[in-house]
Chain A
């Protein structure tokens, strides 16, 4: 956990007081909506189809049990008893009343949470690997650098009115679990041939109507330079990014139009003038931030206690969950547990207040009071002793969050779509729900293996459809919902954008199409362990296209 200091607490509390005054003036008519809108957006308050929506940041996806309990309490008191975890390590409440927003924000502020920079043309919530600090393949805790940048850019006047929003992700592990290359700016820490650690800097990624993977503009950046280099990138974007056309305003367009080399040259020119100034990191400042990330007092435990193996043999359900939801921890005797928020027929990423409270209690008992949120819209208990796994599984199962479907076809990433969102053209959630029903047989899901289905209800791509193994994009065709299908996308360290397989299909046929694609894969794969994504890579989309459209 990260311990916020008095400065952070004051900043958040002052923001609540300021917003309370703004809301009062809006409700009295003193402020028009035109005047109020930018103020509410600075606090993550959107207006959706049916109500105001409050988006709250979960910096680098780390939550304490007290924070999760407060998220549950806010869901109960001010919303409709649930919240929606998003693809950017945020939570959204979809039914908040304007008059109650200041009180909800004050409650969130009491545990150090807020909606600042979850909207608007600023640096958004900085995301990272949900296994930060516990992953065996990690070099250093990425949250230290995410927090450094967060402190620098929070309410920074120079970066509060950029051409468009700016999303940063930080990764420090061999396996990319933070979808780095689809961010405006991605920092990947690695060890070079000389044994030094530094960052690969990638810029200009993003999905939406013009999808791009981020390009490397600096193959190796010393850690001491990370803040000055980020500053130079933001300044370059601020100076050259387009403000005349919202569809061309993201940094990806600038990088694409200038070319990564020319963009890097501009950044370097800016950087040279500031790199040895006060943004150069000194080890003491980094150590101070690192010191405020508190790690549990782990016990010295042996790996794979004997009772665990016996429990796996005794119960097929537990064995399936162990094989699917439990990952290796960097320390022996511990495990990382993913709690799937993707039950059959459910809304991906939604958790009820009851579930949030239950997970908070379980985190206190089994995970040193800590919970993580991943961009795949699941929750994680990062520090579970292996001896506690059986009991934990039973309790998670009791509240419906022990579904062993992580990374399987029913572990769907989905935006809220037209059921909630004022930007959407088509519904996402019912499509996801129908797919989970079609593939309710867990044996079939396991046979299909790793298979990511990502669904967006509009071209803005909040559901990351371009990087789904199967991507589904809702479009409007003369007032009817249609869906474009892409195959072969992925968001890991070998990120790829998917390929469109053919004409869009109507709402009622989307789940049929996914079944057709799954059936084609089972026939096409060379071996049972050839993953779906590898089969698509080997064969291309043509055989899948034939299968899908032969009968249509």
Chain B
């Protein structure tokens, strides 16, 4: 039987990463080259061709216990090599809502809502 992944041709026209939501709390995570997940985009494995993207996706889909709904997302590479989100949706996923959240400052850091602890899970 052909897997859904093989049925759908992956098109890659620039640098991409594989991203998903962490199963335990839904936080945004990125697939690392070593098969784990990180909440830091800079730690993500960046690929530029369909074969590389498919390899990352295959691993990600096999790690359903740790991350949900993986997909290929575009990124931009800054001159210094830093990885930047490729579109607004990914920018918001990485940085949190673009608005100030309404709760008290004690409960709510102002700008960056990324979960602090790193994720280490193996596929």
Contact = CB atoms under 8 A, between A and B. Distances in A.
Interface of A: 26-27, 29, 32-34, 47-52, 75-76, 80-82, 97-99, 346-347, 350-354, 418-420, 427, 429-430, 433, 479, 481
Interface string B2-25: 000000000000000000010111
A419 B95 CA distance: 10
Given A51-B25, A97-B25, A98-B25, A479 B102 contact: no
A82 B115 CA distance: 18
B48 to A, nearest CB: 19
B78 to A, nearest CB: 18
Interface in B46-73: 64-65, 68-69
A171 to B, nearest CB: 31
Nearest 7 A/B pairs, CB to CB: A81-B103, A419-B97, A81-B107, A51-B26, A29-B65, A97-B25, A52-B26
A346 B27 CA distance: 25
Interface in B71-123: 87-89, 92-93, 96-99, 101-104, 107-108, 113
A433 B98 CA distance: 12
Given A32-B64, A347-B99, A26 B104 contact: no
B28 interface: yes
Most chain-A CB neighbours within 10 Å: which of B89, B103, B104?
Answer: B103
17 contacts: A33-B23, A49-B92, A52-B25, A80-B108, A82-B101, A346-B102, A347-B102, A350-B102, A351-B102, A352-B103, A354-B104, A418-B89, A419-B92, A419-B97, A430-B99, A479-B87, A481-B88
Most chain-B CB neighbours within 10 Å: which of A48, A98, A433?
Answer: A98
B69 A47 contact: yes
Interface of B: 21, 23-28, 64-65, 68-69, 87-89, 92-93, 96-99, 101-104, 107-108, 113
B68 A33 contact: yes
A303 B111 CA distance: 50
A82 B21 contact: no
Contact of A82 (B69, B92, B93, B103): B103
Contacts of B68: 33, 47
Most chain-A CB neighbours within 10 Å: which of B21, B26, B98?
Answer: B26
A49 B102 contact: no
Contacts of A99: 24-25
A47 B26 contact: yes
A80 B107 contact: yes
A418 B90 CA distance: 10
A420 B97 contact: yes
A336 B56 CA distance: 58
A63 to B, nearest CB: 19
Contacts of A430: 98-99
* Interface of chain B, main secondary structure: loop
B28 A419 contact: no
Contacts of B102: 81-82, 346-347, 350-352
A32 B24 CA distance: 13
Nearest to A341: B102
A88 to B, nearest CB: 20
Nearest to B68: A33
A49 B27 contact: no
A419 B25 contact: no
B25 A433 contact: no
Nearest to A433: B99
B98 A81 contact: no
B100 to A, nearest CB: 9
A33 B69 contact: yes
A98 B21 CA distance: 12
A72 B78 CA distance: 43
A479 B108 CA distance: 30
Contacts of B64: 32-34
Given A33-B69, A418-B92, A479-B88, A80 B25 contact: no
A50 B101 contact: no
Contacts of A34: 64
Contacts of A82: 101-103
A481 B88 CA distance: 9
B27 A50 contact: yes
Contacts of A353: 103
Contacts of B88: 418, 479, 481
Given A33-B23, A352-B102, 16 more contacts: A27-B23, A29-B65, A49-B92, A50-B113, A52-B26, A75-B103, A81-B104, A97-B25, A98-B23, A98-B26, A350-B102, A352-B104, A427-B98, A479-B87, A479-B88, A481-B88
Contacts of A47: 21, 26, 68-69
Contacts of B26: 47-48, 50-52, 97-98
A430 to B, nearest CB: 6
A329 to B, nearest CB: 30
Contacts of B104: 81, 352, 354
Nearest to B103: A81
B106 to A, nearest CB: 8
Contact of A419 (B27, B65, B98, B107): B98
A33 B67 CA distance: 9
A33 B24 CA distance: 11
Contact of B96 (A50, A52, A75): A50
Contacts of B103: 75, 80-82, 352-353
A47 B64 CA distance: 14
Nearest to A424: B89
A50 B20 CA distance: 10
B64 to A, nearest CB: 5
Nearest to B91: A418
B60 to A, nearest CB: 12
A50 B93 contact: yes
A258 B64 CA distance: 43
